[in-house]
Amino acid sequence: MTIPPETGTVESLPADTIAVNAKKNHSADGRPRDNNDPRNKQRQGNHQGQPRRDRRDVHGWVVLDKPIGMTSTQAVAVAKRLFQAKRAGHAGTLDPLASGGLPIALGEATKTVPFVMDGRKRYRFTVTWGAERDTDDTEGRVVHTSESRPDVEAIRALLPQFTGRIEQTPPRYSAIKIQGERAYDLARDGEVVELQPRPVEIHELTLVDQPDADHSVFEAECGKGTYVRALARDMGRILGCYGHISALRRTLVGPFTENDMIPLEQLEALCNRAASGEGNLADALLPVETALDDIPALAVTRADAARLHRGQAVLLRGRDAPQSSGTVYVTVAGRLLALAEIGNGELIPKRVFNLTGLTASSGRNERD
């Protein structure tokens, strides 16, 4: 049975039984749960009367170097468990087939997720020529084949067509909704899925290696909403040889690079050492404001900070008052306080942060 990349499934039983089983046997992204899913273990422990571990306030970013085979939802669950965090989320789904950067927001960092989601992403990926699959990657069923193979010159000549602002049709197995239903659910049920092209931005697309006639390795830097799987599909069609993704790694997400990534084994080891008193969990965190690298910072006095913290606007006066308008992040005594808008001579708070609890080590404020 084909499993779509990173999202969705629906499973003849009475409707109420189906609903219960769907919740019990499938993850939030729709994929069948596996016995190693940490959420299952937590549920089993609760059913056996074992006490739930106390959750705590943890604020910051963990950029997991996600291993192949793990869904983004599972990765967030693991990080949340390791930190015993009350809240967690991720900034940009990464397919189970893919490895690389998955920024996980803990606590108040979840308020900054949109700023990472809107940032650029960079991928290194391998396309296998000669076969198109219905999922546009190795998980899917072969739907077209060809004996033709492209040469390097033909591939390089094609790349400008996929650079800049282009129209791209998302994969059939994607989370896009069609009349309220996820495309991957409809596709898995055998329905014909017709998705409309939409504009995406591809800032750079480069052929970096051609190990043999069947495989080409690319790097792409692109904006929000771009499907790398669709790039492989469309290039294969134009080249007349068909193609699909056979390897994919994300190397950049917004402000987070490979230098920020931490492998799952290393994160688990650090958390285990911290639990035994031999380490500090804060060492694994990046500050909440790391996600706000592209936004101007504005320092305020403690008196103004108190007003902003209550949700009240602050008048901007004097020679040092900023002349620009737009979004800023506000600090007091070097500590993140709020996201705010400058307009009409006022500083208006939009998101106030409460960073009481575990935060990133002071040394991690200066990134490598």
Whole-number Å distance between alpha carbons of 271 and 281: 6
What's the rounded Cα separation, in Å, for the pair 272 and 326? 43
SS3 337: strand
> Cα–Cα–Cα angle for 143, 136, 10, nearest 5°?
90
Neighbour tally for 243: CB within 10 Å = 29
Count the helix, strand and coil residues of the chain and give each as a percent rounded to the nearest 5: 30, 30, 40
Q: What is the distance between the terminal CA atoms of the chain, rounded to a whole angstrom?
A: 44
Distance CA 143, CA 136 (A): 10
Six-digit token string for 49? 């009367």
b/e map of 16-35 (b: 16 or more CB within 10 Å)? Answer: eeeeeeeeeebbebbbeeee
Catalytic residue among 65, 95, 137, 234: 95
In angstroms, the CA 176 to CA 195 distance is 8
65 labelled catalytic: no
Residue 104 makes CB contacts below 8 A (sequence gap 6+) with 61, 62, 63, 64, 75, 76, 79, 88, 89, 90, 91
Strand pairing report for 142-145 and 121-129: unpaired
List active site positions.
95
